[in-house]
Amino acid sequence: MKIYLFGHDCRYAAEQMLLTLFPGERPEYPDGTPEGDRAELSYFEGTARATAVCRFVRGGDVFVGRAAADRAKMTDDLSRARLLQRIVALSFYRAALNAGIKKPVWGALTGIRPGKLMSRLLQEGLSDRAALSKFVRDYDADPSRAKLCLYTAHAGLDCEKSLAPKDICLYIGIPFCPTRCAYCSFVSISVEKSMKRIPEYLAALDREIEETAAVIKELKLRPVAVYMGGGTPTTLSAPQLDALCTKLEETFDFSAVREYTVEAGRPDTITREKLAALKSHGVTRVSVNPQTMDDRVLAAIGRKHTAADVLEALDAVRQADGFLINMDLIAGLPADTPEGFQKTLETVLSLAPENVTVHTLALKKGSGIMREDTPLPPPEAVGEMITAADEALFSAGFLPYYLYRQKYMSGGFENVGWQKGGTESLYNICIMEELCSIVALGGGGSTKLCMGAGRIERLFDPKYPAEYIESIEKVLADKHKITQLLARPQGPAGLQEDRYHAL
Ligand code: SF4
């Protein structure tokens, strides 16, 4: 879509709203006189009010949307930038709705962490009821989405109280899987071929563990949650997992660790020996991720296992005893239907996991689904699946505890983590609510340093095994940037655009 900006340069706000309202479209910013189908976004500042106006032109018809803010609330550059972005986006939203564009479930809300907005309202002292209605009113969000945010905001605020200033989470990336799922953009296309590099990868990772532990010790940071993800860490053999966990616990101080999660996402990688190894190292939480319990859908997404394999894996995890179990599902997978998804939900709930995470399919560039143009359930069907999940989980006694949105999600929905009986994952809340720094090691690891006043600094490890192994010297050197960054004097908060980037 052609976008013209007048009196401001809020491309970010314009593009986020474009993505929300017209998920398939990309922005263009032509020079010259506006023409054709377009959005003209103008901004004016008066003495008392700042106003944004959008002229949305479609097929020769013109639709106008307006939004305004009180100039008195623009007390500094940051508050001005925030309000400017907000009213520009809102004017675009209103013009598009005037043109008959279907209202998104999240209304005018953009960004990946809507729960943080609800947290802010509660921190300002609003009651649950007042926060809910303000959230719905301000963002035009569906009340069902506001309700999800209320639960996750409370979970975040409770979690925050339990953290000390030097607490951190550790992430260890194992970017290997037995095969690549059709919707995946995490592991490399040649994931099967890269398996032979596991020993080299683990040797490099050992070096990064040592370097990172030294930095963390020097900074007196205290790991409280450990998360081994990927990829699928249980792609490693039992002796490899045992050696890795031994290295971790001998190198880091795990005495304050409250939660230790290992993703065992693919049931076809789970064995009793691996579970015994994990248990012997104090792993507390295991994630077994069927995504669907429909064999047809499993085949359509390139999984080489059946729903029966999931049942067998779950049985093995239960028999190993002592693990909290999370199960991930995805709404909107190819070949799935609302009826099929409902059956998946029923089967998963009958297995009584403590946590269930319901994702909405995100259409990621580089995934097999996008490359092959695979037919997918329409957004209405995805909406039915998400509604069914919310209803089934609430009535089974689960509560939402973290939530995030991603770019290009089917129907503009979200991913929600649900827990039963106070079993929420500390790591998931910390990363989503940005409550403490996450120090990441291994392929695909993304270190996020919380610098105070909402500032975040990021450091990235290379994504794929080959580049990780080959650039290990740089990876080790980069770990010392953690010290440099945390030693920097804390400047004023910048505008943290809640972008749809990798978490
Ligand atoms: S299990 Fe996860 S990381 Fe591995 S291929 Fe499938 S989606 Fe990608």
- Average pLDDT (425-429) is 98
Question: Which residue among 179, 184, 236, 305 has the greatest number of ligand 1 atoms within 8 angstroms of its CB, and so is best to mutate?
Answer: 184
Say if domain 1-102 classifies as CATH 3.30.160: yes
Comparing 16-25, 120-129, 253-262, 395-404, the range with the smallest average pLDDT is 16-25
The angle subtended at Cα 34 by Cα 100 and Cα 41, nearest 5°, is 55
Enter the tokens of residue 209.
């563990």
Identify the CATH number of the domain defined by range 162-442: 3.80.30.20
Residue 153 C-alpha to ligand 1 middle, in angstroms?
A: 29
Give the CA-trace dihedral at 185, 189, 195, 200, to 10 degrees: -80
- Average pLDDT (404-432) is 92
Enter the tokens of residue 172.
């260890």
Q: Which residues line ligand 1 (CB under 6 A)?
A: 177, 180-181, 184, 186-187, 230-232, 265-266
Q: Which atom of ligand 1 is nearest to the CA of 177?
A: 4
Q: Do strands 167-174 and 437-442 pair parallel, antiparallel, or not at all (unpaired)?
A: parallel
Enter the tokens of residue 179.
């095969």
pLDDT of 301-334, one tens digit each? 988 899 999 999 999 999 999 999 999 999 999 9
Q: Which atom of ligand 1 is nearest to the CA of 303?
A: 6
Whether the CB-CB separation of 351 and 314 falls below 8 Å is answered with: yes
Residue 353 C-alpha to ligand 1 middle, in angstroms?
A: 21
Residue 235 C-alpha to ligand 1 middle, in angstroms?
A: 11
In the chain, CATH 3.80.30.20 covers 162-442
- Which residue's C-alpha comes closest to atom 3 of ligand 1? 231
- Residue with tokens 């953290």, as numbered in its chain: 163
pLDDT of 165-217, one tens digit each? 999 999 999 999 988 888 887 766 667 778 899 999 999 999 999 999 999 99
Q: Which atom of ligand 1 is nearest to the CA of 289?
A: 1
Q: What whole-number distance in Å separates Cα of residue 13 and Cα of residue 447?
A: 26
Q: What is the pLDDT of residue 307?
A: 96
Residue 174 C-alpha to ligand 1 middle, in angstroms?
A: 11
Q: What whole-number distance in Å separates Cα of residue 42 and Cα of residue 53?
A: 5
Comparing 4-18, 104-118, 184-198, 470-484, the range with the smallest average pLDDT is 184-198
Residue 310 C-alpha to ligand 1 middle, in angstroms?
A: 15
Residue 363 C-alpha to ligand 1 middle, in angstroms?
A: 14
How would DSSP label each residue in 119-160? HHHHHTT--HHHHHHHHHHHH---HHHHHHHHHHHHHHHHHH
- Residue with tokens 């907005």, as numbered in its chain: 117
What mean pLDDT value characterizes the chain? 92
Long-range CB contacts (within 8 A, 24+) of 417-424: 417/326, 417/355, 417/356, 417/357, 418/355, 418/356, 418/357, 418/358, 418/393, 419/354, 419/355, 420/354, 420/355, 420/396, 421/354, 421/397, 423/324, 423/354, 423/355, 424/155, 424/159, 424/355
In the chain, CATH 3.30.160 covers 1-102
Residue 188 C-alpha to ligand 1 middle, in angstroms?
A: 10
Element (H, E) at 299: helix 295-300
